[in-house]
Amino acid sequence: MNIKQYLDSTYLKTAIQAELNESQNLAVVKKFIQEAIDEKFKLIMIRPDMVSMARNMITDANSNVEIGTVIDFPEGKSGVEDKLTEANQAIQDGVDDLDFVCNYWAFKEGNVDLVKEEILKCTQLGLENNKVVKWIIEVAALNEKQIVQLSALVKNVVVSNFKEKDYASVFVKSSTGFYKTENELPNGTTVSSIILMLENASPLPVKAAGGVRTYQEALEMIRLGVKRIGTSGAKAIASGESTQSGY
């Protein structure tokens, strides 16, 4: 098994979050993109304003690495039109995967119709442009019942509105990695949350993001059934080492 083809190498920190100046942070992004090219990872996941640069680097290197970005990140509270505008710009810049943060706040408040609308319209935009779409449900912000319900909600909208051939291109994804938890609880993937997602998102694929820090943990996720793994320690994981990265 080539584990690199499961790995979405990820760097999503702003300069402020990384405690760097803008030029230093840009250098880190470039390093991640080049590493993804050199290591032949499945994908490089970066912020929207970095997509155009990544496309140029990957094209110049004649590489097959794909480019993903996050939309309405990290809170997912913006309206549907704002999500669509940001996604459209990323498409123009050459993105392959669009990882939308689901408005899980609205879901938790019972505004299911709003969530259904954004899933429908944003998924439609992605599929019409031959992009992979992922819906980040932020498992650390949900209880087990809510993980089940929101995974099933994404699945039901997709199955009801799109063709079976499209299902493999619409993921349910666990986490942003930026949610602030209390008492040092995990803010990303856990085995229990992934099992719930797999059981309730099927036939849609699942991406485990955040919290996978060793080769063995990545292997466990793949054996459970996830199709993609998001990590800022992709090289260490692929080399059989542990990563100290926070995502």
Mind telling me the catalytic residues?
99, 173, 207
Tell me which residue of 91, 90, 75, 99 sits closest to 228, measured CA to CA.
99
Phi, psi angle pair for 99, to nearest 5°: -105, 100
Strand pairing category for 228-231 and 170-173: unpaired
Identify the three-state secondary structure at position 203: coil
**Contact yes or no for 245/230 (Cβ under 8 A):** no
**Contact yes or no for 79/112 (Cβ under 8 A):** no
**Contact yes or no for 137/174 (Cβ under 8 A):** yes
Q: How far is CA 24 from CA 9, 28, 29, 31, 162, in A?
A: 19, 7, 9, 11, 43
- What's the one-letter identity of residue 137? I
Sign of CA dihedral 107, 155, 200, 225: negative
Tell me which residue of 48, 165, 173 sits closest to 119, measured CA to CA.
173
Tell me which residue of 241, 238, 193 sits closest to 7, measured CA to CA.
238
Q: What is the DSSP string of 59-70?
A: HHTT---EEEEE
